[in-house]
Chains A and B, each alone.
Chain A
Amino acid sequence: GQQLNQSPQSMFIQEGEDVSMNCTSSSIFNTWLWYKQDPGEGPVLLIALYKAGELTSNGRLTAQFGITRKDSFLNISASIPSDVGIYFCAGQGTSGTYKYIFGTGTRLKVLA
């Protein structure tokens, strides 16, 4: 089945650093979502994007819906230890099935 390409696959950063990750697809999407999964838990929705070029913030998190509608970006500013986890992007296409396709995830580890 189709999956989105998410990069980087994993990253170690120092507390206080900014983090960037992205998600790309060969298909056009109408909606992009970003989720965070804490260890041993289910993913929780962070940000939803609905229009090409849209830039949306949620606290220290900022996400953008790419102009081409084939990519999305998530930035985390001034990282803290509780940012550790796996970040997933998800896209909903134009086929009308209302299903989302998930990225492979970016595993973030923050060093205090």
Chain B
Amino acid sequence: DGGITQSPKYLFRKEGQNVTLSCEQNLNHDAMYWYRQDPGQGLRLIYYSQIVNDFQKGDIAEGYSVSREKKESFPLTVTSAQKNPTAFYLCASSILRQEIGYTFGSGTRLTVV
């Protein structure tokens, strides 16, 4: 079955460390997105990519980096510059030019220890 897979489900980071969250999809979707979810704040867009080797900043890109070397993969790196990284991170994908919405992964919960 096609789907979008995020790993790991839970991730712990020490202060000052970079960590990378994985997102892989086998839906042949063109676009991929990363969202951050904090309690009571809904979904905030970090980065998105509509084509391989190209990506754009979302509303809260500072302290994060991404790459899109393959259509199937869109990893997110949370750098030490992100001062408050503890959150639930959601990856999504979609077909462009079709109004059918996003398919979401099951999320990664990142905690700074």
CB neighbors of A among B75-113 (8 A): 90, 92, 94, 96-97, 99-107, 109
Q: Which residue of A has the minimal Cβ distance to B105?
A: A42
Distance A94 CA – B73 CA, assembled complex (angstroms): 28
Q: Which residue of B has the minimal Cβ distance to A41?
A: B106
The answer to whether the Cβ of B68 comes within 8 Å of any Cβ in the partner chain is no
Distance A45 CA – B100 CA, assembled complex (angstroms): 9
Min CB distance A90 to B, Å, is 7
Do B107 and A42 touch (CB < 8 A)? yes
Do B42 and A1 touch (CB < 8 A)? no
The answer to whether the Cβ of B20 comes within 8 Å of any Cβ in the partner chain is no
Given contacts A98-B50, A98-B94, contact A48 B43 (CB under 8 A): no
Given contacts A1-B45, A41-B107, A88-B42, contact A100 B96 (CB under 8 A): no
The answer to whether the Cβ of A105 comes within 8 Å of any Cβ in the partner chain is yes
Do B45 and A98 touch (CB < 8 A)? no
The answer to whether the Cβ of B2 comes within 8 Å of any Cβ in the partner chain is no
Min CB distance B6 to A, Å, is 8
The answer to whether the Cβ of A104 comes within 8 Å of any Cβ in the partner chain is yes
Which chain A residues lie closer than 8 Å to B107 at the CB level?
40-42
Do B42 and A48 touch (CB < 8 A)? no
Do A103 and B106 touch (CB < 8 A)? no
Contact pattern, A 1-42, Cβ under 8 Å of B = 1, otherwise 0: 101001001000000000000000000001101010000111
Min CB distance B30 to A, Å, is 9
Among B40, B48, B104, the residue within 8 A (CB) of A42 is B104
Distance A3 CA – B35 CA, assembled complex (angstroms): 13
Besides the contacts A1-B58, A42-B106, A43-B43, what 10 more A-B pairs have beta carbons closer than 8 Å?
A: A1-B44, A1-B60, A31-B101, A35-B104, A40-B107, A42-B92, A45-B101, A48-B101, A88-B43, A104-B41
Q: Which residues in B have some Cβ–Cβ distance to A below 8 Å?
A: 6, 31, 33, 35, 40-45, 48, 50, 58-60, 90, 92, 94, 96-97, 99-107, 109
Pairs A-B, 7 closest by C-beta atoms:
A1-B59, A42-B104, A104-B42, A102-B43, A31-B99, A33-B101, A42-B106
